[in-house]
Amino acid sequence: MTAAIDDATFGQQADGHRGELHVHCYRMLASFHEADDAVQETFLRAWRHRRTFDGSNLRAWLYKVATNVCLDMLRQRSRHQRQITSFPDVPWMTPYPDRMLDQVVDDPDTKAIDRETIELLFLAALQTLPPRQRAALIARDVLGWSADESAKLLETSVAAANSAVQRARATIREHLPPSRSDWSGSATAEEREILDRFIHAHERLDAGAAVAIASENIRITMPPYPWLYEGLEQLMPLLERAFGEERDGDWRLLPTMANRMPSAASYLRRPGDTKFRAMKLDVLRVDEDRISEITTFGPDLFDAFGLPQTVDPQASP
Q: What is the CATH number of the domain that holds 166?
A: 1.20.140.160
197 vs 254: CA distance, rounded Å: 12
Same domain, 58 and 174: yes
Full residue range of the structural domain in which residue 268 is found: 189-311
Same domain, 176 and 247: no
Predicted TM-score (pTM) of this structure: 0.92
pLDDT tens sequence across 53-97? 988 899 999 999 999 999 999 998 876 566 677 788 899 999 999
Q: Where are the beta strands (DSSP E) in the chain?
A: 214-221, 228-230, 250-258, 261-269, 276-287, 290-297, 310-311
Same domain, 138 and 269: no
Same domain, 143 and 16: yes
Q: Chain centroid to CA 234: how far?
A: 26
H helix intervals, 140-231: 147-154, 158-173, 189-203, 207-212
Same domain, 202 and 147: no
Q: Is the pLDDT of residue 3 over 50?
A: no
The pLDDT mean for the chain works out to 91
At position 76, the amino acid (one-letter code) is Q
For position 70, what pLDDT does the model report? 97
For position 109, what pLDDT does the model report? 59
Q: Is the pLDDT of residue 106 over 50?
A: yes
Largest CA distance in the chain: 72
Same domain, 223 and 255: yes
Q: Is residue 102 part of a domain?
A: yes
CATH assignment at residue 215: 3.10.450.50
Q: What is the total count of domains within the chain? A: 2
Which of 111-120, 122-131, 150-159 is predicted least confidently?
111-120
Alpha-carbon distances, residue 30 vs 46, 295, 308 (angstroms) = 22, 14, 24
242 vs 205: CA distance, rounded Å: 8
For position 1, what pLDDT does the model report? 41
Residues 215 and 285: beta-carbon distance below 8 Å: no
Q: Is residue 297 part of a domain?
A: yes
For position 181, what pLDDT does the model report? 53
Is 112 exposed, middle or buried (CB count within 10 Å of its CB: 0-12, 13-18, 19+)?
exposed
Q: 127: which residues sit within 8 A by CB, 6+ positions away?
A: 30, 79, 80, 81, 84, 90, 93, 134
